[in-house]
Chains A and B, each alone.
Chain A
Amino acid sequence: MSIDNQSSLRNFAIRYGFLLLLVGLILYFSFAAEGFASPRSAVFIFQSVSITGVLALGVTATLVVDGFDLSIGSVATSALMLSAYVMVVLEMSAFTAIVACLIMGAIVGFVNGVLIVKARVPDLLATLGMMFLLIGLQRIPTEGRSISTGMRLPNGDTAEGVYSHSFLWLGRHRLDFFLENLIPIPVIIFILVGVLIWIFLELTRHGRLMYAIGSNETATALAGANVSKYKILAYVISGVMASVGGILLSARLGRGDIASGNNLLLDSVAAALIGFAVLGAAKPNAFGTAIGALFVGVLLQGLTMMNAPYYTQDFVKGSVLVIALIFTFALSSKGRKTGH
């Protein structure tokens, strides 16, 4: 009987442990940090993780097919530079900038997928190469400089274009919700993307087949599924989501800042991996990824309000990730099998 109790306690810990930890953190900060338990602070948390979260939801799709996408950070910064270039240098509309970024993300994802599926390059190496390539590529048009109105172009002209208001609206506008100017557009987009990816992965047969591919690729192919198509699709989703993140970053900054977005890759991968631990899933899942991103956001916001210095942030994120991975792999029997 005591063994029964023990195992049911363990099951409970695996399933709800991480969510309880999140609730505990929120309660603790509400008492310990003044002003933490307020709508504005909650929105700030959502806002701080919205871009990372969108990227993390994209990388979740590649994790589902047992792949990995290291290029998401550089796709996002490429989208940042591309949107600035289209509007500031080419003086085109916000709509053109957005479409150009989304197409760029889709193409990069497609090329990643083809490299992995057709050229048989291992996923980590293919996307590492793509990451490198994009980091270099985004510097070439402006000779390595940031893009802003009035900058000198390589041919000696001055850039005359400006960020359009409708583009900046994406990053800066706040909707009224009970309180005036409460919810920023990026938060809406983050939630929307989360719901869409969740629906796709959990409720459609395409998502189900992608999970099957991640578990046993050969078996899924022998069941008649077009494995190559689904794997490429996963990387396209990841690329497009990363470019959405880049557009939001660009709209928030209002300039093509070459030095921005350095942390995006690590933060979003961490969020997706932390997501494995949520509800004992022990596998990539959209809900877990969103919770993972919020968990990091809550922790950083709380610590910041308690005057923890900024340079401890990465240490905190790393610790959360390690703990989450222990939840996933050491505690659950599912994880134990995939862990080797």
Chain B
Amino acid sequence: MTDLACQVLGIVKSFGPNKVLREVNLDLPAGKVTVLMGANGAGKSTLVNILCGVHAADTGSMTLFGKSFWPDSPADAFQSGVVTVHQSINNGVIPDLDVASNLMIDRLAEKTTGFFIKSEKLRQEALEVAATMDLDVDVKACIRDLGLADRQMIAIARAMTRNPKLLILDEPTSSLSANEAQRLFRLLETLKDQGVAILYISHRMSDIRSVADRIVAMRDGKISGLFEDALLDYEGAVTAMLGQKMSQSDFLLNPKGEPILKISNAKLNSSSTPFDLTFYKNEIVAIAGLLGSGKTALASAIFGLNTLLDGFMTLHGEKYKPMNPWDAIEAGVFMCPKDRAANAIISEFDIKNNLALPFLHHHSWLSFIKRQSITNNAKKTISELGVVCQSELDPVTTLSGGNQQKVMVGRWLSVASDVLLLDEPFQGVDIKARRDIGDHIRSSSKDRATIVFVAELDEALEIADRVVVLHEGDNVGDFENTVENLSQIVSRYSGQTETYNQTNPRT
């Protein structure tokens, strides 16, 4: 009864020397929701971009309802009935126009539309679209006055006006509340009945459980698992997405020292359950959780970028409430932020000045910078971390991703800290650099508490003494990183647990 809507055969795509997709084969049946799972860098977005005409594949073929399909532009893909809602909402809506214009923007762009806008007609049509979508907003309202969730729903509604045959949704619930997500899921049910094939990309287990008819897991540019039994094997899917070998690195757990940072009664988002966490000297704790798990909120609170919704922190037994990063740094709490290009690198500086940036006051006398001191600091870090470069005078942008990350981590290791936070320290880093950084973090961890925030579980297992699993703001697991605990950690991470109740029952 299920026709094949879209078939992808042997797609290969490289960017320069990087092979991003290696022979991907994927069937998308009409009237079914296929969930695509994959870690960062697995090739999900590249695959989506090929389907929606942003990139062209190097080799391979695609068919849409039996006919050959090879879009050369996003517009071409729309024409064929492949409609994509991208993760970044603001690409889907135009903030300065009202809802009606946004919903009908594709109509406005058509050449057959007249020169003048017929506002009344436009609104009428927009209302009809909104009604089919179960969308309750004033069509005269301006998009920028609406919340993220409404914008997301409008971006999706806009996609609906194009009568899609294949609808691709990239992390559509990342900014929706549970309630709004339910609305979206109901809509997906309607679309399925109409025979639309849906490719749904998500990290969220609760979503996946609500919508998935089939699960496809991707890893390293290949399909690593396909699950389409009546009873879906979610844990199997997570394992396929993370890779088969889920094992710890061969290190001995560090003995715990005295407690340094205590977080009590912490509430990360409005619907989460408060929890306590204590971090000890000489211990490396990995906070593992997917997008929306609350790990960013936790890291930000400890580094003074925002405050906890509820709860308090103590550092060495004294009350700790940083109002900004400087307070945190003064108190000995450092953070190496995630996404180094946006949050860490000073691209116009060389290596030595990038390394010294937070501690210029250590390298200056009466505010005058001591060049020698900065150079010595840089030479020391470069040799300790094995940064591959000509000299400390190289512009930081000439380094490879892994070496840039070494510089960013080295920046915060050059001065002793009491608590060191590392947010996604292995983001966009090759395996060699990842080992070097991990080893150095472990070997230098003696006099501080180290907290590593990661989305990928294997990274957590590779570096940590203890793994804390966060899920939508709740602390769902706190385990020593030992072989005995491995299966527990994996199942908590994939959300397969009876100790807490999901808030998203299947409708």
Contact = CB atoms under 8 A, between A and B. Distances in A.
Interface in B22-49: none
B468 to A, nearest CB: 23
A205 B347 CA distance: 18
Contacts of B360: 205, 208-209
A337 to B, nearest CB: 8
Given A205-B364, A206-B367, A222 B346 contact: no
Contact of B364 (A204, A215, A221, A226): A204
Given A204-B369, A212-B349, A223-B358, A218 B364 contact: no
Contacts of B367: 204-206
A222 B353 contact: no
Contacts, number: 70
Interface string A206-227: 1011011011101111111110
Given A205-B361, A223-B325, A334 B348 contact: yes
A203 interface: yes
Contacts of B369: 203-205, 208
Given A205-B360, A208-B360, A224-B326, A215 B337 contact: no
B368 interface: yes
B390 interface: no
B364 A216 contact: no
Contacts of A220: 346, 357
A283 B348 contact: yes
A221 B326 CA distance: 8
Contacts of A205: 360-361, 363-364, 367-369
B270 interface: no
B335 interface: yes
Given A226-B326, A334-B348, A208 B353 contact: yes
A216 B329 contact: no
A214 B347 CA distance: 10
Contacts of A209: 357, 360
Which interface residue of A203, A215, A223 has the most chain B CB atoms within 10 A? A223
Contacts of B364: 204-205
Contacts of B363: 205
A208 B342 CA distance: 19
Contact of B342 (A218, A283, A334): A218
B325 A215 contact: no
Contacts of A219: 337, 342-346, 357
A215 B368 contact: no
Contacts of A223: 325, 357-358, 411
A322 to B, nearest CB: 24
Contact of A224 (B325, B343, B348): B325
Contacts of B358: 223-225
A204 B363 CA distance: 10
Contacts of B326: 224-226
A221 B328 CA distance: 12
A215 B335 contact: no
B393 to A, nearest CB: 15
Interface in B363-405: 363-364, 367-369
Contacts of A334: 348
8 contacts: A203-B369, A205-B360, A208-B369, A216-B344, A220-B357, A224-B329, A225-B358, A337-B347
Pick the 7 closest A-B CB pairs, nearest first: A205-B360, A223-B358, A215-B348, A224-B329, A224-B326, A204-B367, A205-B364
Given A205-B361, A216-B344, A218-B343, 5 more contacts: A214-B348, A220-B346, A220-B357, A221-B325, A224-B328
Interface of A: 203-206, 208-209, 211-212, 214-216, 218-226, 283, 334, 337
Interface of B: 303, 324-326, 328-329, 335, 337, 342-349, 353, 357-358, 360-361, 363-364, 367-369, 411
